[in-house]
Amino acid sequence: MSNEKFRLTDLRFQYGDGDFALRVPELAVESGQRVAVIGPSGSGKTTLLHVIAGIELAQTGSVEIDGSNWTALAEAERRALRVQRIGLVFQEFELLEYLRVLDNITLPYRIHPSLSLDSTCRDRARALAGTLGVGDKLARFPAHLSHGEKQRVAVCRALITEPDLILADEPTGNLDPANKHRVLDHLIDCANERGSTLVLVTHDHDLLDRFDRIIDVKSFSEGADA
Amino acid sequence: MTGARSKLECAWRGGLIALLVCACSGEDPVGRAPTEREPDELLVYAVNYPLAYFAERIAGDLAEVRFPVPADIDPADWSPTPGEIAEFQQADLILLNGAGYARWLEHASLPRGRRIDTWSGFRDRLIELRGGVSHAHGPSGDHSHTGTAATTWLDPTLAIEQARAIAEALAQARPPRAAAFRKRLAALVAELVELDAQLAATAAKLGDTPLLFSHPVYQYLERRYSLNGRSLHWEPDEAPDPKMWRELETSLEDHPARLMIWEAQPPAGTTRRLDELGIRATIFSACANAPAEGNFLSAMRAGAAALEEMGELLSPP
Amino acid sequence: MREIAYLAWCYLSYHRIKTAILVASIALITFLPAGLNVLVSQSAEELTARAESTPLLVGAKGSPLELVLSSLYFESETPAPTTFAESDRVAETGLAEPIPLYVRFRSRSYPIVGTSLEYFDFRGLRFAAGRPMAVLGECVVGAEAARELGVHPGDFVTSSPEGVFDLAGVYPLKMSIVGVLATAHSPDDRAIFIDVKTAWIIDGLGHGHQDLAAPDAESAVLSRDGDRITANASVVQYNEITAENIDSFHFHGELATYPLSAVIAAPHSEKSRALLLGRYQDDDASQLVVPTAVMDELLETVLTVREYAVAAVAIAGSATLMTTTLVFLLSLRLRRREIATMMKIGASRSTVAAVLISEVAVVLLLGGILAAGLTLATSRFGSAAIRALLLS
């Protein structure tokens, strides 16, 4: 039985208006792996995560997640699977400024009809927030949080649906060293706890020893794995 | 002009005649106590007794007639309280005499549509009063009239016109009853015509005999019957002062009257002194207020009879 | 749907100032034409009702509008006076009941209406306390005037001089209040009613003074000529009518020549009305006006102005709406990232659109509610304001 979490095959993605093209001849990640994605700026790291998550659709090739070909699915199905099974952490936090911390954490439950917000979800949100050290900030707006607190809230939002695939795009990029490690520790701990697969884009080579595998996107562009 | 009436003297002068007349006419005194009115019944207020009497004679049971002036007050001088005026305001008909009668009307607010000017048929036959004090403001300022004689009912022909005006007002207020009003009016008019004839006969006997009137209230009687009269300003309840006696004596020089007509019995002293001057006193009530006994017609007839009797006494054999 | 509404509400309440401005704009755009319509319609109704309840008005030749406004609303300049003879003339026709009006004087800001007792029945006015006037110097106060002045039967009001330096003309008369009317929701509520003869006393046409024939009045006598006494200017005149001095009050000259501002003529029938109109058709000195016709003309002007105003408001409203839409579209540009985040997490385009539309819907709803509230307040309180504006 395959233990692959996802596999990209002959994938080629190009933005409509630009020259950039992401080429992934072959990429497979096993379930539960901790994968770091590195590469120079503009090399397609974020694009890779978007393609995996189904946010962007490659022009050619396929993305299989848990054996299902996501590229063959309709956008609505991809979206539903994404919100249910993939947790996303963005580099710029991307919290909604007009929602309090608790509402930001539970946002996935409000924006897709396949998920229903109930007291269990709220309790889980409070627990997550407590674990990540923002349990006492639930009533605050993001404008009143520090960088580190914002990113931890974003991590809570990514984990609230108990995803089995976590895609984090430079989650520590805007953090100081102390918070950087703290956030990474939380991500890895939560991923280990659930057996989730973690794919994390980072510029920070100090963190690479925490990962099982390192993928250099530039090698894809040049046709080789690091 | 106020005056108290001696009940005993009235009865002595024309008492028998009055009783007879009362028995004939059989009318109740005006101004019965307010009772529960029928829905169809009119409420009529009058400013003097004669009008109230006419209204009662004409309306009968179809109206409640009220004449609220106390018996000892001349209605012309009565000053009702605002509360009493408010009662007048509730009437269906308010019978006014006209000719400036009842000074309180000048100061009162009464509903125009319910005021009945019983004098409207003879406006051009009112008697202007000469003499009396008038005043003006500044050399070219406004001036006030001295007045109009108001005892119009003493002329039976004018009284008939007033009665007709009342009947017309009643008929307009209650058209279904108009025939009944007119019938009762006819009966009243017949009696007033009879009174007129009686007074005319009396006046004919008096001819141009000089007469004195104790008070200027007999103008319409005087005019109707061409009486040769002259008015003084004496009150029946007050003894004349020396100046007034001198004025009388001066008047007698060119108006040698031997008969003085009073509204009510004068004091005995006055009567005696008049006797000394060769003047006999007789009573002819102006009937502005209700008589102690009888009614308007009986009082007028009694006055006419007393006048006739006195005229006979004074006429040469 | 609930979650979408919640997200919309969170956005609006976070940006409360912007939301308030948008709500206020929507409310104003909606309220202005609606409120104007309500205001004018209501006022027109009230003005028309008052005019309809006054069949005919007789006055001196002149402006029919001034005659109507003065007689119905006790506002505007006093028209050229007619005389009391006109009231007699109407009565003598037998075609209508005359009700004299002399509206010239005021007690502070409250018009003093000299009239007859029939006025109360004619206008269907009931008494909350006391009774109608019975004698000179008594007055009846309208409900609102009584409330504002804090007076009851037994109290007094005084007429105001017409001018500061009006030494030789109208003088203040202290009047006794004998009645207070129940609220009539008409101009009668602010008026003080007196007998027309009392109004003539205020006018100086009638007065009460010391008896000139009395010995103690010698200093007030200019000359004597037999029984005729001429008074000088020092004669003491009373400025309050009491039970003690009422008998001294009198009028000089013929009452028929005394002034009135108008005579209300209440015809007995339609035929009487037509006949009466015919009688005044060729009258050179007097006019007989139909108040409804005069008010219709006035209201036509008002309604025309209203149409223009509504058109202007509509244009301004369209501009405001376009600006509001632009603000919304610009805010969408600013919210691109937020929208992208939601879509990345898993929201569909339709979900995002639903959130944005909900925000617009809430703003429109709140604006509508506010506009409805303002319109309701206008219908409740606005007509009095517009009436004062129209009649001032």
Q: What is the pLDDT of residues C255-265, one digit of tens each?
A: 899 999 999 99
B292 or B188: whose pLDDT is higher? B188
**Residues 6 or more apart from A4 whose CB is under 8 A from it?**
A28, A29, A30, A31, A64, A67
Q: Which two tokens stand for residue A2?
A: 């395959």
| Whole-number pLDDT of residue A226 | 38
Specify whether the CB–CB gap between A163 and A1 falls below 8 A: no
**Domain identity same for B94 and B66:** yes
Q: Indicate the residue among B161, B177, B199 that finishes a domain.
A: B199
Q: For residue B27, what is the DSSP state?
A: P
- Answer yes or no: do B136 and C91 touch at CB < 8 A: no
**Residues 6 or more apart from C19 whose CB is under 8 A from it?**
C12, C13, C363, C366
Q: What is the pLDDT of residues C187-227, one digit of tens each?
A: 999 999 999 999 999 998 888 866 666 666 666 666 666 65
Q: How many angstroms away from the CA of C99 is the closest CA of chain B?
A: 9
Q: Computed over its alpha carbons, how large is the radius of gyration of chain C?
A: 31
**Domain identity same for B105 and B233:** no
> Tokens 């007196």 identify what position?
C194
**Domain identity same for B184 and B242:** no
- Answer yes or no: do A98 and C3 touch at CB < 8 A: no
Q: Indicate the residue among B199, B232, B267 that finishes a domain.
A: B199
Q: What CATH number should be reported for the domain holding residue B48?
A: 3.40.50.1980
Mean pLDDT within C9-38: 90
Give the percent of chain B with pLDDT over 70. 82
Q: Is the pLDDT of residue C110 over 90?
A: yes
Q: What is the pLDDT of residues B223-251, one digit of tens each?
A: 999 999 999 888 877 888 899 999 999 99
Judge whether B240 lies within some domain. yes
The residue segments making up the domain with residue B268 are 200-314
CA-to-CA distance for B255 and B261, rounded, in angstroms? Answer: 15
What is the b/e burial string over A92-119, where b = at least 16 CB atoms within 10 angstroms of the residue's CB?
A: ebbbbebbbbbbbbbbbbbbbeebebee
CA-to-CA distance for A205 and B79, rounded, in angstroms? Answer: 120
Instruction: Characterize the bridge pairing of strands C82-83 and C259-260.
Output: antiparallel
Judge whether B253 lies within some domain. yes
- Answer yes or no: do C246 and B107 touch at CB < 8 A: yes
* pTM check: above 0.80: no
Chain A touched by C319 (CB under 8 Å): no
Residue B262's identity, in one-letter code, is W
Q: Which two tokens stand for residue B185?
A: 């009016």
**Domain identity same for B183 and B251:** no
Q: What is the pLDDT of residues B51-78, one digit of tens each?
A: 999 999 999 999 999 999 999 899 998 9
Specify whether the CB–CB gap between C199 and C114 falls below 8 A: yes
- Candidate ranges B120-129, C8-17, C47-56, C251-260; pick with highest mean pLDDT: C8-17
Specify whether the CB–CB gap between C189 and C183 falls below 8 A: yes
Q: Is the pLDDT of residue C167 over 70?
A: no
Judge whether B154 lies within some domain. yes
**Domain identity same for B115 and B51:** yes
CA of residue A76 relative to chain centroid, distance: 19
Which residue of chain B comes nearest to C114, CA vs CA? B109
Residue A124's identity, in one-letter code, is R
Q: How many angstroms away from the CA of B94 is the closest CA of chain C?
A: 14
Mean pLDDT within B1-11: 44
Chain C touched by A117 (CB under 8 Å): yes
Q: Which two tokens stand for residue B238?
A: 């007050």
Mean pLDDT within B180-208: 94
| Whole-number pLDDT of residue B134 | 52
**Domain identity same for B193 and B80:** yes
| Whole-number pLDDT of residue C386 | 62
Q: How many angstroms away from the CA of C386 is the closest CA of chain B?
A: 35
**Residues 6 or more apart from B119 whose CB is under 8 A from it?**
B96, B97, B98, B99, B126, B152, B161, B162, B165
Which residue of chain C comes nearest to B135, CA vs CA? C229
Chains touching C by CB (3 or more pairs below 8 Å): A, B
CA-to-CA distance for C112 and C106, rounded, in angstroms? Answer: 5
- Residues of chain A in contact with residue C348, where contact means CB-CB under 8 angstroms, are 76, 79, 112
First-to-last alpha carbon distance for chain B, in angstroms, is 37
**Domain identity same for B269 and B241:** yes
Specify whether the CB–CB gap between C15 and A98 falls below 8 A: yes
- Confidence label for B179 from pLDDT (cuts 50, 70 and 90): very high
Q: Is the pLDDT of residue C150 over 90?
A: yes
Q: Which helix (H) or strand (E) holds C141?
A: strand C138-141
Mutation target vs A (from C345, C349, C358, C359; most A CBs, 10 A cutoff): C345
For chain C, the structural domain boundaries read 2-47+298-391, 56-205+252-289
Judge whether B245 lies within some domain. yes
Out of A50, A82, A111, closest to residue C351 by CB: A111
**Residues 6 or more apart from C154 whose CB is under 8 A from it?**
C176, C177
The phi and psi torsions of C74 (rounded to 5 degrees) equal 60, 25
**Domain identity same for B45 and B156:** yes
Q: What is the pLDDT of residues B15-58, one digit of tens each?
A: 343 333 333 333 433 444 445 667 778 999 999 999 999 999 99
Specify whether the CB–CB gap between A73 and A57 falls below 8 A: no
Q: Is the pLDDT of residue B14 over 60?
A: no
Instruction: Provide the ipTM.
Output: 0.88
Q: Report how many domains make up chain B.
A: 2
Neighbours of A16 (CB within 10 A): 5
**Domain identity same for B171 and B39:** yes
**Domain identity same for B96 and B184:** yes
| Whole-number pLDDT of residue A205 | 84
Judge whether B19 lies within some domain. no
Q: List, for chain A, all residue ranges whose pLDDT scores fall below the cut of 70.
A: 1-2, 18-20, 221-226
Mean pLDDT within C314-341: 88
- Residues of chain C in contact with residue A153, where contact means CB-CB under 8 angstroms, are none
Chain A residues 19-38 within an 8 A CB cutoff of chain C? none
Own/partner long-range contacts of B139-147 (Cβ < 8 Å, ≥24 apart): B139/C222, B139/C223, B139/C230, B141/C230, B141/C231, B141/C252, B142/C252, B142/C253, B143/C228, B143/C252, B144/C250, B144/C252, B146/C227, B147/B100
**Domain identity same for B110 and B165:** yes
Angle formed at CA C61 by CA C55 and CA C65, multiple of 5 degrees: 55
Q: Which two tokens stand for residue A89?
A: 């952490």
- Residues of chain A in contact with residue C347, where contact means CB-CB under 8 angstroms, are 79, 111-112
Q: Which two tokens stand for residue B247?
A: 């004025």
Three-class DSSP category at B202:
helix
**Domain identity same for B173 and B208:** no
Provide the mean pLDDT of chain B: 84
Q: Under the phi-then-psi rule, with left for phi > 0, alpha for psi from -120 to 50, and beta for the rest, what region is B127?
A: beta
Q: For residue B19, what is the DSSP state?
A: H
| Whole-number pLDDT of residue A221 | 58
Q: Residues of B near C (CB-CB distance < 8 A)?
A: 79, 82-83, 85-86, 89, 103, 106-113, 131-139, 141-144, 146
CA-to-CA distance for A67 and C111, rounded, in angstroms? Answer: 94
- Residues of chain A in contact with residue C342, where contact means CB-CB under 8 angstroms, are 96, 107, 111
- Confidence label for C1 from pLDDT (cuts 50, 70 and 90): confident
| Whole-number pLDDT of residue B146 | 58
- Residues of chain A in contact with residue C7, where contact means CB-CB under 8 angstroms, are 99, 110-111
| Whole-number pLDDT of residue A183 | 83
- Confidence label for C314 from pLDDT (cuts 50, 70 and 90): confident
Chains touching A by CB (3 or more pairs below 8 Å): C
| Whole-number pLDDT of residue C32 | 86
Handedness of CA C368, C374, C375, C380 (dihedral sign): positive
Judge whether B23 lies within some domain. no
- Confidence label for C180 from pLDDT (cuts 50, 70 and 90): very high
Q: Is the pLDDT of residue C30 over 90?
A: no
CA-to-CA distance for B44 and B177, rounded, in angstroms? Answer: 15
Provide the mean pLDDT of chain A: 87
Q: Which two tokens stand for residue B213?
A: 């009137």
The phi and psi torsions of C167 (rounded to 5 degrees) equal -75, -35
The phi and psi torsions of A11 (rounded to 5 degrees) equal -90, 130
Return the number of CB contacts < 8 Å for A and C. 57
The residues facing B44 across adjacent strands are: B65, B93
Q: Is the pLDDT of residue B176 over 70?
A: yes
Closest CA to A195 of A166, A168, A171: A166
Specify whether the CB–CB gap between C167 and C232 falls below 8 A: no
Which residue of chain C comes nearest to A103, CA vs CA? C7
CA-to-CA distance for C139 and C133, rounded, in angstroms? Answer: 6
CA-to-CA distance for A84 and A172, rounded, in angstroms? Answer: 24
Judge whether B210 lies within some domain. yes
Q: Computed over its alpha carbons, how large is the radius of gyration of chain B?
A: 20
- Residues of chain C in contact with residue A82, where contact means CB-CB under 8 angstroms, are 345-346
DSSP per-residue codes, C156-183: EEEPPPSSTT--SS----EEEEEEEEPP
